[in-house]
């Protein structure tokens, strides 16, 4: 009888201990789950707040224009003061910085400011270039330069046709041949021609940006080696 009572007592004690352990484990698990949920909730709230702030900044044309000016100034400064910038040139450094900022969400991928730059400010670069030209030298050397330009332009057109037949840019769909034409014009008459042809052929803005960036990287590598 004594042994039976003793066993019963130990059995009850063990059950109580196991139940206490389970209760504590359950409480700890609930606390951990609650802490994780709170952390996730705070992270979601901070992400939503950041997205809201960036969205409002992206819609502000003054912010976008200021960002473009700052990035351009950084590109020019890096070209003048660093070996890396001199090797790549200010336009390419500016594009790389802009690409990074756009992909981390600081700058928007599309903005009315970009259209203003492409359609108004870039064309103004032509008369600015002419202001610094020596017209007497231009007229004196037009003959030899005209022949060289004609040979270069014809070679560019032939090279573009040959390259497009080998690499038809199928991933771009109907935009492929348009990008090829814009790149050909860019290597004949510069970036201003690229923008003009892209605008005439109604190439998507994101494709235009990607094509300019890719072209500048390849050209930089070509001249670097």
**Is it the case that residue 164 has pLDDT exceeding 70?**
yes
What is the residue-wise DSSP string for the chain?
A: -HHHHHHHHHHHHHHHHHHHHHHHHHHHHHHHHHHHHHHHHHHHHHHHHHHHHHHHHHT-HHHHHHHHHHHHHHHHHHHHH-HHHHHH-HHHHHHHHHHHHHHTTSS-S--HHHHHIIIIIHHHHHHHHHHT--HHHHHHHHHHHHHHHHHHHHHHHHHHHHHHHHS--GGGTTHHHHHHHHHHHHHHH-HHHHHHHHHHTT--HHHHHHHHHHHHHHHHHHHH-
Look at 48 and 203; give whichever has higher pLDDT.
203
Look at 103 and 209; give whichever has higher pLDDT.
103
> Once rounded to an integer, what is the mean pLDDT over residues 155-166?
94
What integer pLDDT is reported at residue 9 of this predicted model? 41
Look at 52 and 148; give whichever has higher pLDDT.
148
* pLDDT confidence bin for 6, thresholds 50/70/90: very low
pLDDT tens digits along 48-95: 666 778 788 888 889 999 999 999 999 999 999 998 888 778 888 888
**Is it the case that residue 98 has pLDDT exceeding 80?**
yes
Least confident of 15-24, 147-156, 166-175, 216-225: 15-24
* pLDDT confidence bin for 8, thresholds 50/70/90: very low
> Once rounded to an integer, what is the mean pLDDT over residues 1-13?
44
Look at 107 and 209; give whichever has higher pLDDT.
107
pTM over 0.85: no
What integer pLDDT is reported at residue 74 of this predicted model? 93
């Amino acid at each position: 009888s004594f042994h039976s009572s003793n066993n019963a007592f130990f059995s009850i004690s063990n059950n109580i201990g196991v139940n206490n352990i389970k209760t504590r484990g359950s409480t700890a698990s609930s606390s951990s789950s609650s802490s994780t949920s709170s952390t996730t909730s705070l992270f979601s709230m901070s992400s939503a707040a950041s997205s809201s702030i960036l969205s409002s900044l992206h819609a502000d044309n003054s912010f976008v224009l200021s960002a473009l000016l700052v990035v351009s100034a950084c590109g020019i400064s890096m070209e003048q003061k660093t070996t890396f910038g001199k090797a790549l040139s200010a336009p390419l450094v500016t594009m790389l910085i802009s690409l990074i900022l756009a992909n981390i969400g600081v700058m928007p991928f599309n903005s009315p400011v970009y259209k203003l730059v492409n359609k108004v400010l870039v064309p103004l670069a032509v008369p600015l270039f002419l202001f610094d030209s020596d017209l007497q030298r231009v007229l004196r050397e037009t003959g030899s330069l005209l022949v060289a330009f004609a040979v270069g332009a014809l070679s560019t057109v032939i090279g573009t046709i040959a390259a497009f037949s080998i690499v038809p840019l199928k991933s771009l769909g109907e935009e492929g041949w348009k990008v090829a034409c814009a790149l050909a014009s860019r290597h004949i008459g510069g970036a201003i021609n690229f923008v003009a042809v892209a605008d005439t052929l109604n190439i998507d803005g994101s494709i235009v940006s990607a094509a300019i960036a890719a072209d500048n990287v390849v050209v930089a590598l070509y001249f670097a080696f």
